[in-house]
Amino acid sequence: MKPALAHTLLVVAVTACGDAPSTDVVADAGADEAAAVVVGAPTHLGGCILLDPKGDVPDDVYEHGDVVATDAMPPFTKELQVYGLKLAARDDISDDFMRLVARTIAESFPRDAGLDADLQRELLANHYRYRALIPVPLGDDMSFAEENEEQWAEIEKNNSVCDIIMQGTPVGPEGQVMEVVEHILHYVTDIGLHYTFPEVWGISEDSELARAMRKADDEGYYVLDKYLDFEDEEVRFRVQMQEFAYWFISTAWNLQAPYGPVWEDEWTILDQDDLRQKLPEMYAAYEETAARVMVAPSLETLQEIGPTRAEERGN
């Protein structure tokens, strides 16, 4: 049996890069997900978010370490802890790439007088409490998870593993920036925002995010049907929500126009003004919550990660 979450993560990641998942892979993931359920109380929401806190919160939630070797999480061999998000990789991943991802995370949570410091610290504390762990594979190669089933099962059991950040993407260099930004946002919305602002960002049917997602689907701004192949309803709903949250925040940050995937038809709103006009209730809720604790990473860092669409195509 293949690790179910590893396949689900890969399906979501490749879909985000613009390649449609095969029905066979998704069906396999759904069957394994069901087979992995242990009788008793559920431990994770939506297949990835720890329901009970397991992690210790340090005195300084702004801890920003460097890449260090580890033998505590096989098959991973190194890790980097930043603001409660732990990047985990094997030796084929560049240390400099991990540091660049970490810098992107840190820049998204500046200690700025214009932000709410108490709420920001609470959000980062939730990353620690619910043990947010981000695997960093080389491209879409998740074979290490399949080859180390027992170790991977322990990682899934003890952490919130909601997606991956690939070094190198199936669509080439122009996909690298949003590969990083999107999957950082998946963790922040699934864990940090979900637990800090549950009425707005909660992975639940009655949150403001869920209502906005349904409205966007009804009005043709967001395509929910893209994820119908996920057989597990709870996993499908969580994936739909995290994808919608990514589209929403990255558009509020005006990153879709220069960096967003033009080959995608999943989302049709491309700038902040259009977003505010078409989804005003969610935009107001965003300003009262997420916008009070985080900002877009710097353009300098994004330029170091990868080119804009125009730069990649020589325009």
- The mean pLDDT value for 286-290 works out to 98
Residue 313's pLDDT is 63
Dihedral of alpha carbons 160, 73, 78, 10, sign: negative
pLDDT classification of 174: cutoffs 50, 70, 90? confident
Residue 244's pLDDT is 98
Residue 24's pLDDT is 33
SS3 293: coil
| Neighbouring C-beta atoms of residue 250, cutoff 10 Å | 19
pLDDT one-digit tens code per residue, 231-241? 999 999 999 99
| Neighbouring C-beta atoms of residue 51, cutoff 10 Å | 12
Residue 33's pLDDT is 43
- The mean pLDDT value for 238-248 works out to 98
pLDDT at 28 over 60: no
pLDDT one-digit tens code per residue, 40-94? 689 999 999 999 999 999 999 999 999 999 999 999 999 999 999 999 999 999 9
Cα 284 to Cα 209: distance, rounded to the nearest angstrom:
12
What are the φ and ψ backbone dihedral angles of 87, each rounded to 5 degrees? -90, 135
26, with CB counted inside 10 A (0-12, 13-18, 19+), is: buried
- The mean pLDDT value for 253-266 works out to 89
Cα 143 to Cα 46: distance, rounded to the nearest angstrom:
23
* pTM for the structure as a whole: 0.89
